[in-house]
């Protein structure tokens, strides 16, 4: 029988771990919050692993448990050697956003009791640096609403493939901010801009006319040839290293024309090579007068 999916949800206090575990519970996972890491091996020996009604297992582990930071490395390493497939999901947020969230909830930070909150956040970030570096997926929730974070977690559950790395190709506009969760980011603002051509301005990079215009730029083909060669070299190395997710972000000024066309070309190339890939265009529908999305409930 196939072993259940096992997610370790960890990261900075206030980054949205409770929201993440709630989504997993709703998706049919057996979930435990604040699980002592030393008990994880014994827990995985329970019959739950063979319960057909359970989609998988999810555990929130973080700095609230005093022994976590000193024991997690050996425990996780041993479990992986025994054949368990653990996916470590690390949630984080900016210092400014974490301060805001703690001010709203009035909860005590585990590293900030009796001390300055900002200092506590900094100490926790430093303490978790090694764990963050070993994570399979890092999610920055700074600019996410609760609903956006829930979608990210649902997508993570749905596309989790323990044998193959999941690649997300996305376009974006620098004027609306860079995507904090990108692993690889490239700037294509050096290409000719369809925005300054009235007949193309209102179209987007998914239209044939805009794509043909972008690809007709003498710089496009040379750039793509070199960039795709680089990706062909890097993707197998990331997968060999055990990385579960890779986000490739391609940006132009507004995220509507050049980045969309180039992202489509990159996505189609990756697909032709048999990789598990998806594409999204973050800012394709935003107009010049619109600001970055900032309304809504925060995680």
Task: Give the chain's residues under pLDDT 70.
Answer: 1-3, 49-50, 106, 112-115, 159-164, 241-242, 287-299
**Domains assigned to the chain:** 5-159 (3.40.50.300), 166-281 (no CATH)
Q: What is the pLDDT of residue 260?
A: 97
Distance CA(60)–CA(62), nearest Å, equals 7
pLDDT number for residue 85 = 82
Which pLDDT does position 165 carry in this prediction?
A: 77
Give pLDDT, residue 293: 44
Are 15 and 98 contacting, i.e. CB atoms less than 8 angstroms apart?
A: yes
DSSP state of 237: H
| pLDDT reported for residue 294 | 36
Instruction: Please report how the helices 95-105 and 117-127 are oriented relative to each other, as an axis angle in degrees rounded to 10.
Output: 120
């Amino acid at each position: 029988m196939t072993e259940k999916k096992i997610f370790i949800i960890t990261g900075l206090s206030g980054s949205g771990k409770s929201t993440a575990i709630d989504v997993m519970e709703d998706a049919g996972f057996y979930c435990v919050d604040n699980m002592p890491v030393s008990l994880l091996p014994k827990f995985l020996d329970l019959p739950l692993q063979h319960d057909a009604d359970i989609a998988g297992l999810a555990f929130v582990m973080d700095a609230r448990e005093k022994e976590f930071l000193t024991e997690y490395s050996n425990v996780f390493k041993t479990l992986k050697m025994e054949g368990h497939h653990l996916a470590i999901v690390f949630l984080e947020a900016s210092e400014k956003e974490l301060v805001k969230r703690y001010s709203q909830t009035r909860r005590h930070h585990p590293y900030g009791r009796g001390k300055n909150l900002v200092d506590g956040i900094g100490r926790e970030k430093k303490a978790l640096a090694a764990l963050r570096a070993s994570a399979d997926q890092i999610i920055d929730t700074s600019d996410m609403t609760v609903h956006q974070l829930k979608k990210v977690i649902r997508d993570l559950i749905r596309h989790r493939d323990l044998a193959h790395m999941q690649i997300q190709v996305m376009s974006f506009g620098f004027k609306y901010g860079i995507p904090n969760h990108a692993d690889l980011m490239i700037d294509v603002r050096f290409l000719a801009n369809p925005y300054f051509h009235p007949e193309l301005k209102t179209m987007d990079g998914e239209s044939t006319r805009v794509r043909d215009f972008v690809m007709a730029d003498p710089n496009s083909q040379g750039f793509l040839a070199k960039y795709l060669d680089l990706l062909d070299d890097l993707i197998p190395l990331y997968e060999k290293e055990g990385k579960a997710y890779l986000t490739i972000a391609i940006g132009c000024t507004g995220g509507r024309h050049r980045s969309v066309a180039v992202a489509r070309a990159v996505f189609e190339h990756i697909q032709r090579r048999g990789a598990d890939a998806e594409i999204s265009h973050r800012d394709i529908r935003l107009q010049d007068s619109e600001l970055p999305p900032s309304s809504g409930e925060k995680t």
